Structure 1
Amino acid sequence: MTIVNRKPAIVTASYAIEPCSGTSGNTGKNPDCCAYCHRRKETEWCDLGARELEILSSSKHSRIYEAGELLYQQGDDCNGVFCIRDGIVGDRRVDADGNSVLVRLNYGATTLGYQEFLTKTEYRNTAEILQDSFVCFIHRSVISQLLSSDSALGERFLRRSIRDTQKLEDNYVVAMNASIRSRLLHVLLVLYERNGKIDTADRHVLEIPIARADLASLVGTGPETISRTIRKLQQDRLVEFDGRTAFIRNLDAVYNEIVALN
């Protein structure tokens, strides 16, 4: 599969960012101010001081991106980082033959591009919006300023990089030892934990935000194999599929099968 060659989305604010202090007659908490962002405590920006938060809020560029837009493309110069407040953004890697592989799903409270910023390299992947997303862009000059005034921010990004590396190693071990069926069930459980719900029939429902070929990439197999595995799961009445919607009647049965298969 070859990635669609879209022009990267322009990261400019689609509206004026109000000051955090609630000036000009605005005494309420501005939700677009970093100090009041409901995701901030889950991010590396969690412990910034009031002055640093004011710098961040007044310097960032925020907008809502639609599915299919790109934040940046593989090989672009790293001009800063992108902080996802809400939505889903996929990391894609394109090989020398032009084949695109979805390597990661990123949700709210995730900062993209920080490793490239810290190592002063180009973006390693293409960041594609998979579900309408609210994203903030922070220019590299602002990050440098914040790092100069708050050394702990750099330490938090370093710890995040270590955790990401450990997770990558864990995923590699799973890919080498777990069956395709087990890996698919694991991905479905992760998606359910992110945005699942229970319907009126007491089924656990999850929306799969990606095409079947991308689902196969996440699992580490081909589209034909993932299709056969999905059919087998349906035959075994473990998971039902209707387009991009999956239904799980018994979560414990899925957990138990993953453990048994591993």
Structure 2
Amino acid sequence: MVERRRSIPGASCFECEWREQTEWRVLADDEISLLTQAKKCRMYQTGEPIFSAGEPSHGIYCIVSGTVAIRKVDADGNAVLVQLGYPGDTLGYRGLLLGEKRRHNAEALGPSKVCFIDQRVVKTLLDKNPALGLEFVRRVTADLDDAHAKLVQNATFSNRTKFVHLLLVLMNRHGRTATDGSRVMQLPLSRRDLASMIGARHETLSRIISRLEEDGIARFSGRTVHVAQPNSLLEEISPPLLG
């Protein structure tokens, strides 16, 4: 856990570029100062665990840079990817607020800077500023809405549509525009993780990728994805999602 490992100097929370997108935006200046003094930040390397299911919830984590994979261990002991965390995201708040152990594993998908805020500091801030608690309630509500939307998507959309939608989301985060107007992306995930995110088998995803290539929608080479006509992805999902 972060609190037991060597931390690195972190910038003041006043200077954090993500602050206005987080729950901490409602804090007063003296509360931000407390947060700055109390947080412990460190760099995680690719594949390094940040926290694990079953651990006590001793605090909250804030992603400063990089990408974090949130995995849930199923009944067979397999760690299934359920969510990606990006800069500005807060992790581990639910277990802390409910007094429960961690339900998920979190690991860095690449070099990632993550800050840890001890439970005592979080509770002090919640006592001083009730608006912070309301922000976390809103976050829980948003998470529930996202989970409901995913259930609807899994029940009504084809695996191909779900995968194209996932590609669009990842392209927005990790893609770049080439000089010819095409879009290129280095996938942050393995194909097995991509399959788990759309609720499909690895073999099913391989067939979807082959058909997308045959249809001229995208080219895949290892983790590199090239989309010659970016609008083609939008056209793929327009009938079920946008129509």
Q: How does the TM-score come out when normalised to structure 2?
A: 0.95
- Are 1:217 and 2:196 an aligned pair? yes
Could you tell me which residue of structure 2 aligns to residue 228 of structure 1?
A: 207
- Are 1:63 and 2:42 an aligned pair? yes
CA positional deviation for 1:105:
0.7
State how many pairs are aligned: 241
RMSD of aligned Cα (Å): 1.4
1:61-100, CA deviations, whole angstroms, 9 ceiling, x for partnerless residues? 0011111111111111100010001111011111232112
**Which of 99, 104, 129 is the equivalent residue of 1:125?**
104
Give 3-state SS (helix, strand or coil) of 2:184's partner.
strand
For the 8 Å contact 2:181–2:228, the answer to whether it is kept is: yes
Could you tell me which residue of structure 2 aligns to residue 83 of structure 1?
A: 62
Give 3-state SS (helix, strand or coil) of 2:225's partner.
strand
- Are 1:170 and 2:163 an aligned pair? no
**CA–CA distance in 1 between the matches of 2:175 and 2:21?**
20
**CA–CA distance in 1 between the matches of 2:70 and 2:133?**
23
**Which of 4, 7, 18 is the equivalent residue of 1:14?**
7
Compared with structure 1, are the counterparts of its residues 172 and 119 closer, same or farther at alpha carbon in structure 2 (3 Å cutoff)? Answer: same
- Are 1:139 and 2:133 an aligned pair? no
Give 3-state SS (helix, strand or coil) of 1:90's partner.
strand
Could you tell me which residue of structure 2 aligns to residue 205 of structure 1?
A: 184
**CA–CA distance in 1 between the matches of 2:49 and 2:25?**
26
For the 8 Å contact 1:12–1:61, the answer to whether it is kept is: no
CA positional deviation for 1:260:
2.6
1:180-199, CA deviations, whole angstroms, 9 ceiling, x for partnerless residues? 11000000000011121111
For the 8 Å contact 2:182–2:230, the answer to whether it is kept is: no
Could you tell me which residue of structure 1 aligns to residue 165 of structure 2?
A: 186
- Are 1:109 and 2:88 an aligned pair? yes
1:126-157, CA deviations, whole angstroms, 9 ceiling, x for partnerless residues? 00111211110001000000001111000001
Could you tell me which residue of structure 2 aligns to residue 196 of structure 1?
A: 175
**2:234 alignment partner AA:** Y
**Which of 89, 92, 95 is the equivalent residue of 2:74?**
95
For the 8 Å contact 2:3–2:40, the answer to whether it is kept is: no
Between Structure 1 and Structure 2, the one with more helix by share is: 2
Give 3-state SS (helix, strand or coil) of 1:68's partner.
coil
Compared with structure 1, are the counterparts of its residues 14 and 149 closer, same or farther at alpha carbon in structure 2 (3 Å cutoff)? Answer: same
Q: How does the TM-score come out when normalised to structure 1?
A: 0.88
CA positional deviation for 1:10:
5.9
Give 3-state SS (helix, strand or coil) of 1:131's partner.
coil
For the 8 Å contact 1:91–1:104, the answer to whether it is kept is: yes
Gaps of 5+ in 1: 1-7, 18-31
Compared with structure 1, are the counterparts of its residues 11 and 68 closer, same or farther at alpha carbon in structure 2 (3 Å cutoff)? Answer: farther
Compared with structure 1, are the counterparts of its residues 226 and 9 closer, same or farther at alpha carbon in structure 2 (3 Å cutoff)? Answer: farther
Compared with structure 1, are the counterparts of its residues 65 and 42 closer, same or farther at alpha carbon in structure 2 (3 Å cutoff)? Answer: same
- Are 1:156 and 2:149 an aligned pair? no
**1:183 alignment partner AA:** K
Give 3-state SS (helix, strand or coil) of 1:143's partner.
helix
- Are 1:46 and 2:25 an aligned pair? yes
1:155-185, CA deviations, whole angstroms, 9 ceiling, x for partnerless residues? 0010011011001100110111100110000
Compared with structure 1, are the counterparts of its residues 159 and 9 closer, same or farther at alpha carbon in structure 2 (3 Å cutoff)? Answer: closer
Give 3-state SS (helix, strand or coil) of 2:54's partner.
coil
Gaps of 5+ in 2: none
CA positional deviation for 1:201:
3.1
Q: Which moved more, 1:245-254 or 1:107-116?
A: 245-254
Compared with structure 1, are the counterparts of its residues 98 and 239 closer, same or farther at alpha carbon in structure 2 (3 Å cutoff)? Answer: same
